[in-house]
Chains A and B, each alone.
Chain A
């Protein structure tokens, strides 16, 4: 199956700073990528759909100005958490669908801790 990487795998930052998380599709040209968020001991929730060459679409309740998504190439989507606060501490996972959208290829996730 396709390989997806995320960088960094873990990040600790101070409140008020911005953090960028990269999601790379290593062997597949992904026109669409998804960003999920998972708070401790909770389920994964879709945050947004990243579309190559166009604006991301955000799920209800997700602030687009706080979670900036850029999908500038077919192999890279970035999620920037701007002015991070402790409540943004979470596990962020990206994925992209396969050709027929039947399956998803997930990255290993990024743990963000905001102090």
Chain B
């Protein structure tokens, strides 16, 4: 069975702090994809990143960075120098390469205070 766990329900930081959102997944598939989405209050999902199971290179995009470690089945997301606009719910998700169905984690609510 596939499962995604985001143990942090809520995180509150002060602007300019760095923050890491944790994601641990379970799957028996050898080929799979991992995602991070941002969901602002409007509800619309904003795609942040996709990683396939064969690519363990870490990625940086501006203030965002991702650390994918298959050995620990983790796909953590770090925001450097957080801003108030980063306040949102962040979801980690997993999909099988066969079906495209997404299994979402519980979500982490990030509040960045000025």
Contacts and interface: CB of A to CB of B under 8 A. Distances in A.
B101 A49 contact: yes
Interface stretch (B13-21, B58-66, B67-75, B103-111): B103-111
A108 B50 contact: no
B105 A101 contact: no
B91 A104 contact: no
B7 interface: no
A60 to B, nearest CB: 11
Nearest to A101: B100
B104 A101 contact: no
A72 B107 CA distance: 33
A46 B106 CA distance: 13
| Interface majority SS (helix, strand, loop, mixed), chain B | loop
Interface string A85-115: 0000001010101000111101011010000
Given A32-B100, A34-B101, A101-B100, A91 B91 contact: no
B99 A108 contact: no
Contacts of B47: 1, 103, 106
Contact of A108 (B35, B44, B98, B101): B44
30 contacts: A1-B47, A34-B101, A42-B106, A42-B107, A43-B91, A43-B104, A43-B105, A43-B106, A43-B107, A44-B102, A45-B104, A46-B101, A49-B99, A49-B101, A93-B43, A93-B45, A95-B102, A97-B100, A101-B99, A102-B33, A102-B50, A103-B33, A103-B47, A104-B95, A106-B44, A106-B45, A106-B47, A108-B44, A109-B43, A109-B44
Interface of A: 1, 32, 34, 36, 38, 42-46, 49, 91, 93, 95, 97, 101-104, 106, 108-109, 111
Interface of B: 33, 35, 42-45, 47, 50, 52, 91, 95, 97-107
Given A101-B100, A103-B33, A106-B44, 4 more contacts: A38-B43, A42-B106, A44-B45, A102-B50
